[in-house]
Structure 1
Amino acid sequence: MNSALLRGFLNKTWRTSILVPLKTYVPQPPVLLNLNCSRNTSFFNKLPAEDIWRGVTAVSNAGKKRGRGKGTGKKTAKDLNRGQTIGLGKKNFVWPGLNSPIIRGNDLIQQQPLAENLEREKNIIKLRDSMGGFRMMKLNPIDRGWSGSKMPGRSIGPPDAVGDEEFESFDTRVLENKIVFIMKGNMGRKRRYSVLSVTGNGNGLAGFSVAKAPEVRTALRKSKNRAGQKLINIDLCENRTIYHDFYTGFGKTKIFCFKKPEGYGLVCHRAIQTICKVVGIKDLYAKIEGSTNLQHIVKAFFIGLMRQKSYQTIANATNLHVVEFQKATNGVAQIQAVPLTTEATNKPPNRIIDFMQYTLGNKIVLKKKKIAPFYVNTKGHTLYQIKQERFRNQANVRLHKLVNQ
């Protein structure tokens, strides 16, 4: 109603004379109606929910350039209302005004049950699981890497072809993928990705490289191609292991590598294990002391592989015969190399030269003394040892019988 008409109506009503008894007449003040203008729209229903949340969690352009807000703007929660219809649930009903009109034609719709949908829960779960947009392809456990969702340990294929030269039999593995920063005069902190990868053909030819780039894919491609350009030829003993035990180091990292018989496997750090797979080493034991920096481990291990000496080279350098004793041959001596000159062999050496001591460079692996468990001196453990006394050599006897059958 217009305010002017309302004011005139009230004034006219007040001026109208009414004949009432004098005692009962009490004049009343005019009644004023307050009409407040209201809007059904506000800031919260003008914009969709995504834009409102973006205004709360977003970072300015200057903040993005400086590396702020890495995890913002990500949807971590699922829309639990998706796939559900008002009025429909576990028990389907026709609800007039909710999921159906109140009047259809000349008929009044009544509340009535519907047929039960047995696939409803399954369809809603499938619809919710499909939310989130891009999903990573499920990988084979062999190609998944060290920790499943991370890049280190994962294969990224052979290096790109250079002209007519193709790396068909090569495989590249990522060893390290991290974010590094560099300060720029006009941009401030600039973020880049650093990738360390190793490539090899599994037959003694391998190389490694570190590359940096603003994008992850670019850094992976650059590192892979650089590793293919820096290949190193590594000699393998029996095409499966190293020639001899050796000690190597880089920085604060020390590595002791030991030659092992066929079937032993790779018992070593996961970075060394990945390198051995692309190089072609199948049997090795390695012990790391000091720093476990990945780049230092890779450099130290490659230095040790390149410094290997053949048996003949060692025999020529020491003027001594290289003799090997193996448990597999019941300790029978097997001559591996004979020196070219026999001057030193005519005279007995002043000291016993140990092959391991010579190849390890007079280094000794640190062996920590094991701490005895708390139950060693208890009564129950003493009784257990007494009961197990009769079976003390059973495993060795069974193995001996299997070997000599």
Structure 2
Amino acid sequence: MATNLINVTKTLQKLVINSRCGFSPTLIRSTDQDLTKNTIFYNPSRNTNFFNKLPASDLWKGITSVSNAGKKRGRGKNVSKSKIKDLNRGQIIGVGKANIIWPGLSAPIIRGRELVEQQQLPEDPEREKKLNQLRDQMGTFKRTKLSPIERDTFEGFDTKVLELKTVFNMKGNFGRKRRLSVLAVTGNKNGLGGFALGKGLEAKTALRKAKNRAGQNYIKTILCVMTFFTQYGQTKIYVWKKPEGHGLICHRAIKTICETIGIKDLHAKVEGSTNVGHIIKAFFLGLIRQKTPEEMAEEKKLHLVEFCKENNYFPNVIASPKECRKAEEIPKDEILDFTQYCFDGKVVLKKKKFPPFYTKLKSYELYLKRQERIRNQQAVRNNLIAEYGEIQSFLTTQYPECRQYKLPKKEEEEQT
């Protein structure tokens, strides 16, 4: 009897150790009439495995992701996140396969004046079907988001290419990859414009990308450009406001931008780097940051007055602040010059013009002596034709013989 009890206790100790390691014991009593011949059997079974050690995100990642070496070789391009399903979707805490009412979890503890007790309800055969439908419909109900290209029609917009070049990208596994880069600007000639950079294997693809991106990132500006200074990197641009009919006297990139936006009169000078991308960015920054005459007058709290040669330098007040400062309130070192104020105190670099090298030669002196007798001859001829209608002397009214008796060959050809 004592030996059997010792064997039973040893077996129980082993069971406890095995249960801690993940084995589940099973107690089976023998049918023998002798109670001392009871035996205990246990079946080894693991309760922990790969699927309940890791979270669901890591398990899905093991199915849908690709290794770094596979990504370099172009694998996993067709694998999408839409295949991932949330298995907890549609499930409620306290509700499972066994349809049981749990007071305080899936049902209230007190209902009216009665205390709710635990109760088992009949199983729902449609539960699994409904959960599978919810999991299959994941990712299908998405809000339709339209891009700016689909929202706007972009009617009246014109696109021009500023730079088209071939670029190369070198990689260790793919080698040298060739693409085309297009820098384009677009505008509607009414104050709207934008620029973008697009790349593609073909020129059409790169141009389409640049055009669409430029349409998405357009800005709005005033057509009457003010005098301003702008800078991006080592590129500096000085812009002067000009009257109507002056035209566009500036860099080709700035001229193209003005034509697409609708600016007609402007003079600009570029200093420093002439990188086309930097010039475009600097000019657009200047268009955004430029100040109106009202803002300038309000910032300085002074009247903005214009002196024009066409008005005989008569002062013309363009903008006035709400409260104007007096002469005593203006400090002596304050910048009152309009050009320097618009250029943030910077001065345009004016290079000294040196005379040509041939002015020091002896032959140039002889040339000037020969040209002295016909100096300003063409200007005098043009003035006579404009005033009298023909080349004649101021004494022709008194002496009719003072006329040009024979026209030069060039004038005869022009008249015929």
Decide whether aligned partners of structure 1 residues 329 and 273 sit closer, same or farther in structure 2, where only a CA change above 3 A counts.
same
Percent identical among aligned pairs is 50
> Do 1:208 and 1:227's aligned partners in 2 also have CA atoms closer than 8 Å?
yes
**1:205: Cα distance to partner?**
0.7
Structure 1 stretch displaced more, 373-382 or 282-291: 373-382
**1:345: Cα distance to partner?**
5.2
Decide whether aligned partners of structure 1 residues 291 and 399 sit closer, same or farther in structure 2, where only a CA change above 3 A counts.
farther
Aligned residue among 257, 264, 278 for 2:239: 257
Q: Quote the residue 2:346 is aligned against.
A: 363
Question: What is the distance in 1 between the residues matched to 2:243 and 2:262?
Answer: 15
**1:349: Cα distance to partner?**
5.2
Please state if 1:175 is matched with 2:157.
no
> Do 1:320 and 1:345's aligned partners in 2 also have CA atoms closer than 8 Å?
no
Please state if 1:329 is matched with 2:316.
no
**1:399: Cα distance to partner?**
10
**1:296: Cα distance to partner?**
0.6
Question: What is the distance in 2 between the residues matched to 1:340 and 1:396?
Answer: 52
Please state if 1:341 is matched with 2:329.
no
> Do 1:375 and 1:381's aligned partners in 2 also have CA atoms closer than 8 Å?
no
State the one-letter code of the partner of 1:321. Answer: H
Question: What is the distance in 1 between the residues matched to 2:236 and 2:380?
Answer: 38
Decide whether aligned partners of structure 1 residues 176 and 375 sit closer, same or farther in structure 2, where only a CA change above 3 A counts.
same
State the one-letter code of the partner of 2:347. Answer: I
**1:391: Cα distance to partner?**
8.9
State the one-letter code of the partner of 1:190. Answer: K
TM-score using structure 2 length:
0.52
Q: Quote the residue 1:73 is aligned against.
A: none
State the one-letter code of the partner of 1:179. Answer: T
Question: What is the distance in 1 between the residues matched to 2:373 and 2:307?
Answer: 37
Q: Quote the residue 2:404 is aligned against.
A: none
How far does the alpha carbon of each residue in 1:378-399 deviate from its partner, in whole angstroms, 9 at most, with x for none?
1432564575379999999999
Question: What is the distance in 1 between the residues matched to 2:276 and 2:253?
Answer: 7
Question: What is the distance in 1 between the residues matched to 2:275 and 2:251?
Answer: 11
Question: What is the distance in 2 between the residues matched to 1:184 and 1:348?
Answer: 63
TM-score using structure 1 length:
0.53
How far does the alpha carbon of each residue in 1:359-385 deviate from its partner, in whole angstroms, 9 at most, with x for none?
011222222222223247714325645
> Do 1:207 and 1:230's aligned partners in 2 also have CA atoms closer than 8 Å?
yes
Structure 1 runs of 4+ off > 6 angstroms? 389-400
> Do 1:319 and 1:344's aligned partners in 2 also have CA atoms closer than 8 Å?
no
**1:343: Cα distance to partner?**
3.0
Question: What is the distance in 1 between the residues matched to 2:252 and 2:201?
Answer: 27
Q: Quote the residue 2:257 is aligned against.
A: 275
Please state if 1:295 is matched with 2:282.
no
Aligned residue among 219, 223, 228 for 1:232: 219
How far does the alpha carbon of each residue in 1:296-315 deviate from its partner, in whole angstroms, 9 at most, with x for none?
11001111111110111111
* Runs of at least 5 residues in structure 2 that lack an aligned partner in the other structure: 1-146, 388-416
* Runs of at least 5 residues in structure 1 that lack an aligned partner in the other structure: 1-159, 401-405
**1:282: Cα distance to partner?**
0.4
RMSD across aligned positions (CA): 3.0
- Aligned to 1:378, what secondary structure does the other structure show? helix
State the one-letter code of the partner of 1:212. Answer: K
Structure 1 stretch displaced more, 251-260 or 197-206: 251-260
State the one-letter code of the partner of 1:199. Answer: T
- Aligned to 2:150, what secondary structure does the other structure show? coil
Question: What is the distance in 2 between the residues matched to 1:203 and 1:172?
Answer: 14
Q: Which has the higher contact order (CA 8 A, sep 6+)?
A: 1
**1:294: Cα distance to partner?**
0.6
Question: What is the distance in 2 between the residues matched to 1:179 and 1:391?
Answer: 51
Question: What is the distance in 1 between the residues matched to 2:318 and 2:378?
Answer: 40
State the one-letter code of the partner of 2:256. Answer: T
- Aligned to 1:181, what secondary structure does the other structure show? strand
Question: What is the distance in 1 between the residues matched to 2:386 and 2:212?
Answer: 50
Decide whether aligned partners of structure 1 residues 375 and 262 sit closer, same or farther in structure 2, where only a CA change above 3 A counts.
same
> Do 2:241 and 2:266's aligned partners in 1 also have CA atoms closer than 8 Å?
yes
State the one-letter code of the partner of 1:297. Answer: I
Q: Quote the residue 2:289 is aligned against.
A: 307
> Do 2:302 and 2:325's aligned partners in 1 also have CA atoms closer than 8 Å?
no
How far does the alpha carbon of each residue in 1:185-218 deviate from its partner, in whole angstroms, 9 at most, with x for none?
3211111111111100111110100111222211
Question: What is the distance in 2 between the residues matched to 1:329 and 1:395?
Answer: 29
Question: What is the distance in 1 between the residues matched to 2:380 and 2:215?
Answer: 53
**1:229: Cα distance to partner?**
0.1
State the one-letter code of the partner of 1:317. Answer: E
- Aligned to 1:369, what secondary structure does the other structure show? coil
State the one-letter code of the partner of 1:313. Answer: E
Question: What is the distance in 1 between the residues matched to 2:311 and 2:164?
Answer: 46
Decide whether aligned partners of structure 1 residues 178 and 391 sit closer, same or farther in structure 2, where only a CA change above 3 A counts.
closer
Q: Quote the residue 2:183 is aligned against.
A: 196
State the one-letter code of the partner of 2:275. Answer: N
Q: Quote the residue 2:174 is aligned against.
A: 187
State the one-letter code of the partner of 2:319. Answer: A
Question: What is the distance in 2 between the residues matched to 1:312 and 1:399?
Answer: 45
Map 1:120-135 onto structure 2 (within 5 A). none
> Do 1:179 and 1:193's aligned partners in 2 also have CA atoms closer than 8 Å?
yes
